[in-house]
Structure 1
């Protein structure tokens, strides 16, 4: 082992030592040592979103920091389970190594080289074998219900499509979307809130399905639109500030006028 590897291993061990000290029953932090995997589960999601946020902002310093926070969550859960004699961080890493080797036979077993577009197909086939071997026989059985609804919808639709349950043509999905819009309108006219909620879900599910069929990630697509909306609202606020006007006290027609202006201005800046 060279000097750099030794230093890196020492840094990793320092991190493990910090976590052990934080969890020490006698001298540890009162908050850290009182936690279990269930009580800190939300922080994994929060830290993952902050990682994505730093990537989208192209902020490499923030990315470095947020990846550290996400890594700490992995170490935290591993230490909790180590104390309960379930597994430790080295079991996690070892399992991960085995999984990556198993799911990349075209690299590690010198099988036939795969094209970029063939790799996800091979990955899913191997996952399916693992799922069956693990006793999960239903084609949707291993898709967590805790996923955000958008993410879970994509995974449900993708898995069903991989097993032959899919629309043949894009036009068919558009027809389905129009059908769901009509059913939503009917529910709204009837004033039935439960049906409105259900039909809205059906419409969103169909739009997500269209996105999947077009090979567009709906989450990424919506995030782009969210940013676009945010930027245009900020443009309106800045414009009104120069006019000494308040947003909520400005006539809607004036807001729409600046909104239209913002579309061209922001495009030019990009």
Structure 2
């Protein structure tokens, strides 16, 4: 048997040289080192983030909370559900999350008349993070309604959807006869972003649409893309889409962000 010398690491805490980059990201960088291991605090923070990500996926959407928030702002809404009746089914059968339940389909059909056509439909679905919708959806919807009013677009009642995948909004838009579908959904949580909301936009959505027909704006949350910028980007996409009569891979996001003075700039000479 070949023997190797035992490597002796210094016991004091060693700070990572990338420490200054942590101000720009929530990613786990520059964690430091104690001996040959992570320091205790970063290790515990990782375990907490992992638990928060699991909770975000498994937690049911708080319909009562969303209902109260929408009622306080006098925003009309309806609630629907997919064929995935519970979380376990939702996670194991993605196909059922794309199908409206029979009861929801009947309700939407009954409330829609053939003469009514809407410019915009906004659907808020729990997806893989109910927390993302609870934390971000209502305030985003309020800003979005203001922007749509400025454009002169008619708005369908807001739809809250449970057990939802992205494609669930397609059938809803088809039934309610809406030209532009805005699907808000909880994104799969990362280990530093359990509250990240995604926005999927589709022109003339209908059952059977594929993902190449959608445009996506992701990571909408306080520590990510702010709601004001997200609304501006989305309305710019929708305006261009209405002009061109399509959405998806052929519709380019040409929205330009203005960097204000005082915002952090990229560091030079650190690599």
The structure whose Rg is larger is 1
TM-score by length of 1: 0.21
Higher strand residue share: 2
Using the size of structure 2 for normalisation, the TM-score is: 0.21
Which has the higher relative contact order, 1 or 2, with Cα contacts under 8 A spaced 6 or more apart? Answer: 2
Higher helix share: 1
